[in-house]
Amino acid sequence: MNEIYKADPGSQSLYLIWADWEPRKKAAPCAADEQEYDGHCFIIAPEVDEAIRTWSEQGLITLAFVYGTPAWARSIRPCEAGIYCVPDDAADYGRFGGMLARRYNGLNGNGRIADFVLGREVGNYRSFDIGCGPGSTACDKTEWINLIVANYNAGYDAIFAEQSTARIMTSIDNKFGETLENAADGQLCGKSVLLGLGNNAGGRLWRASINAYNKPEALRFDYLDYPYVTMGNVGILVGWLIQQFPNEPQVRDVQLAEQGLPGRPNFEDTSASSLCFGFRNALGTPGIDNYIYYHMLDQPGEIDKFGLFREDGTPKGLWGIWANSSRPNWSPGLLSHSCGFQNLPYLEMNLGRGNSGSYIASSRKLPSSYLGDGRFFLHHSEQPNSIMLYECSTAAGSRLMADPSCNNELPYGPVGWIYTSQVLPSTVPLYSCYNQVSGAYFPSFASDCRGQPNVQVLGLLGYVFRNLPSP
C-alpha cells in the first residue's frame, strides 16, 4: 500500500454489494457486528471499514459502487441474473445507500465515502436485469428507464439526506450512440439512459460515470470510436451532457469510475502506451476529474488481463505509467510525464490535417491518419477573462467553437479555457477559418488564415499560448 500512497492516486473504488450487507431482511435490534439503519440490520465487514478508514486517513477519496440485490429483495420478476436483478422495491435499495452514507460520513471514525455510483452499467441487461432480454421476453424501454430512474432517485435521496455534498452518479457502459441500442434484446445506449434519468431527476443534482472500455475485441482505443465512447473519444460524453443539459452545471463533472486495458502477455507494451494516451485524453477534457483504473492484479481466468500486476505479483509496464503519473515529486525523465501531466495547468491543443484536406483541432490524441499541422496551449481551468472552448464535429473533421451546442452536431467535448482579450503579453490571437471548397474548419494564428484561396475568416476565437509557458 505504501507504493500506492506514494503515487498520490487521489481515489479508490470499492464494490459494495448489498447482498453481502443485508443477505436476509432482519429488523432491529441488531448484533454488535451489525449496523442499524432505518430499522434494518446490516452486517459490517471489518476489512471494508479498514479500507475506507485508512484511505481517508491519507486524505484520499473513496468511491463506492452500490449494487447487488439480495435474494429476499428480488422475487416479483422472472430474473436469473442473481444480484444483478433489479430490486422489487427501490426504497429497499435506497436504504442500503443511506446506511453507507451515514456510516461512512467521515464523522464516525470509519472514514468517508464521498462518491457513490448507483448500479453498474444500468443500460445493459446483464448488470441491470428487469426480467427480460435474450432467451426471454423482449424488454420494454419505457419500463427499463422508469426502473433506472426509480432506483437512482431512491438511492440519491437516502444518500443526500446523510451527505448533502456527496457526488451521486449513475453508471453507463461504452455503448453510447443510438445505433448501438437494442432495447428489446437487452441494451440501452448511454444517450437513452442519461436522457431518461436527466429528464426525470426532479431537481436532483444527478451525475454520470462511464466505464469507457475499448470497443469489443479492440486492443487500442481511437478518436474515431464513436458510436462507442472509449478513452479515445471520451470528450464526447462531457460535451454531449453540456449540450443536452446546459442549465445543469453539475453534469459537467464526470468520473471514469472503471477503466481497464487489455494487458495479455503479448500486448503489455500496447496497454502501457494506451494508458499514457488515456491519461492525456482525460486531462485534455476539462470536466473529467477522476480516472480509476481497474484493477491492480490479474485475476485467474480473466481473458483480457486488465491488472497493473501479473497474477504472480510482478509489475507490468502499466504499473510504471500509472504509479509515476501524478507523483508530486516527479522527474521530467519519467515516461509517464509525456502523458499530459507535464503540461498542467495547461492543455496542449494539436491541429491535424487529413489526406482529404479535412482538419481536426483537439486536446485529445488525433487519429493516426492525421498529420500534425501546429499546436498551441490553453488553460485547463477557468481564468479571469476566459471562456471555455469546445470541439465540435463537422463533415470534414472538427472545429473549435465557444458555443457548447455545437450547432446541434455531435460534440467532441471541451478543450480548455481561452482568453477573450490579450491579458498577457505571451498570448497570441487565434482565428477561426473556413475552406468554402472542402468544408473544413481550422484555427490559425494569421488574421488572414494564411492567405489561402477559398478560405474565409470567420472571426477571432480568443487568445492562446503559442508555446508552453514556463513554470
Cα separation, 469 vs 471, whole angstroms: 6
pLDDT tens-place string over residues 140-193: 999 999 999 999 999 999 999 999 999 999 999 999 999 999 999 999 999 999
User: What stretches of 122-261 adopt beta strand conformation (E)?
Assistant: 167-172, 207-210, 254-259
**Residue type at 378?**
L
For residue 158, what is its C-alpha cell?
Answer: 437516502
Question: Which comes out higher in pLDDT, residue 420 or 263?
Answer: 420
pLDDT tens-place string over residues 233-284: 999 999 999 999 999 999 999 999 999 999 988 889 999 999 999 999 999 9
Cα torsion 121, 126, 130, 134: sign: positive
Backbone φ and ψ for 440, nearest 5 degrees, come out as -90, 145
Residues across the chain: 471
Omega cis (within 30) before 471: no
The domain defined by 1-326 folds into TIM Barrel (3.20.20)
Q: Residue 93's closest CA among 118, 117, 76, 64?
A: 118
pLDDT tens-place string over residues 348-386: 999 999 988 999 999 999 999 999 999 999 999 999 999
Q: Residue 319's closest CA among 277, 263, 365?
A: 263
Mean pLDDT of the chain: 94
Domain layout of the chain by residue ranges: 1-326, 345-465
For the chain, the C-alpha Rg in angstroms (whole number) is: 23
Q: In Å, how far are 96, 377, 400, 442 from 462, measured between CA atoms?
A: 49, 12, 11, 14
Give pLDDT, residue 228. Answer: 99
Q: Which DSSP state fits 172?
A: E
Confidence of residue 1 (pLDDT cuts 50, 70, 90): low
What count of other Cβ atoms lies within 10 Å of the Cβ of residue 453? 7
Cα separation, 202 vs 170, whole angstroms: 15
Strands 61-67 and 113-118: parallel
Cα separation, 330 vs 38, whole angstroms: 48
Give pLDDT, residue 6. Answer: 67
Decide: 418 and 432 in contact? Cβ < 8 Å: no
| Rounded percentage of the chain residues whose pLDDT exceeds 70 | 96
The DSSP string of 102-148 is HHTBSSSSS-BEEEEEESS-TTBTTTSB-S-STTSPPPPHHHHHHHH
The DSSP string of 44-68 is PPHHHHHHHHHHHHTT-EEEEEEE-
Give pLDDT, residue 191. Answer: 99
Task: Summarize the confidence of residues 6-19 as an average pLDDT.
Answer: 87
Cα separation, 420 vs 383, whole angstroms: 10
Cα separation, 212 vs 51, whole angstroms: 26
Phi-psi region of 39 (alpha: psi -120 to 50; beta: other; left: phi over 0): left
**Contacts with 94 (C-beta within 8 Å, 6 or more apart), sequence order:** 151, 154, 155, 156, 157, 158
Phi-psi region of 397 (alpha: psi -120 to 50; beta: other; left: phi over 0): left
pLDDT tens-place string over residues 91-150: 999 999 999 999 999 999 999 999 999 999 999 999 999 999 998 899 999 999 999 999
Give pLDDT, residue 335. Answer: 43
Rounded to 5 degrees, what angle do the CA atoms 99, 100, 101 make? 90
pLDDT tens-place string over residues 191-223: 999 999 999 999 999 999 999 999 999 999 999
Give pLDDT, residue 4. Answer: 73
Give pLDDT, residue 135. Answer: 85
**Looking at the predicted structure, is the pLDDT value of residue 33 above 80?**
yes
For residue 459, what is its C-alpha cell?
Answer: 472571426
Q: In Å, how far are 13, 228, 296, 340 from 263, measured between CA atoms?
A: 20, 21, 12, 22
